[in-house]
Amino acid sequence: MKEISLQKRLRSAWVIGLILLGSAACFASDLSSLYEKVGLSVPNSRVPAPDFELEDLKGEKISLKSLRGKIVFLNFWATWCKPCVDEMADIERLHKRFKDNDFVVLTINFGEDNEKVQGFVKRHKLSFTVLLDKSKEVSSRYRTFALPTTYLVDREGYLLAGAVGGLNWKSPELPELVESLLNSSENMSGG
């Protein structure tokens, strides 16, 4: 009972966070239905996703802006966060399924050191990009108050949707949502 209450509070806080951040693109009702089925909240106006530049596990710098033209799945997590750990295999499957389709999975580790995160990635056989937010500055810009927190960012760098807390990324609607976003974004951007 306590967990449900916490989950409701986190979802309410997510809505408040979106109001603070502004809001993101509102898509057609069929996409809204898919977002809802997957467990993502969709705001009602467009707001740019805060840009950032962080190092990956190899020390290479990656910025959100450099990924324009792609749909970005942005997940904030930590190795000590059980719901984060529980999501990782599903996020890996999502990455493998769509990595050749202008869909990028970026995970941002919340304040841990490279060695600890590299060990985790190796143990769990993860192949998506992991960025290190050692100072927690990027997490702060995204108003990450609980882990995991996930956002979808469109090809133009605008927030599409998000969720606070662990989600079931095995949802049968998730691949349909990603495919719809890829097709909608291609049409919107002329590509």
Picking from 40, 9, 45, the residue whose alpha carbon sits closest to that of residue 26 is 45
For 33-56, the DSSP string reads HHHHHHT-B--SS--BPPP-EEEE
Encoding tokens for residue 61?
């710098």
pLDDT of residue 31: 80
Three-class SS of residue 59?
Answer: coil
Q: What is the pLDDT of residue 33?
A: 83
Answer yes or no: are the C-beta atoms of 189 and 69 closer than 8 Å. Answer: yes
The residue type of 92 is E
In angstroms and rounded to an integer, the radius of gyration of the C-alpha atoms of the chain is: 16
pTM of the entire structure? 0.80
Choose among 28, 72, 29: nearest CA to 48: 72
Tens digit of pLDDT per residue, the chain (191 long)?
Answer: 444 555 555 554 454 454 434 333 333 457 888 888 888 888 778 889 999 999 999 999 999 999 999 999 999 999 999 999 999 999 999 999 999 999 999 999 999 999 999 999 999 999 999 999 999 999 999 999 899 999 999 999 999 999 999 887 888 888 899 999 998 854 444 33
Q: Which CATH number fits domain 2-186: 1.20.1250.20, 3.30.70.270, 3.40.30.10, 3.50.50.60?
A: 3.40.30.10
CA distance 133 to 149: 14
3: helix, strand or coil: helix
Which residues, in sequence order, are CB contacts of 106 under 8 Å at separation 6+?
62, 64, 67, 72, 73, 74, 75, 128, 129, 131
Q: Please, what sign has the CA dihedral across residues 146, 63, 118, 129?
A: positive
Please report the pLDDT score of residue 32 as a whole number.
81
Pairing verdict, β 71-77 and 103-110: parallel
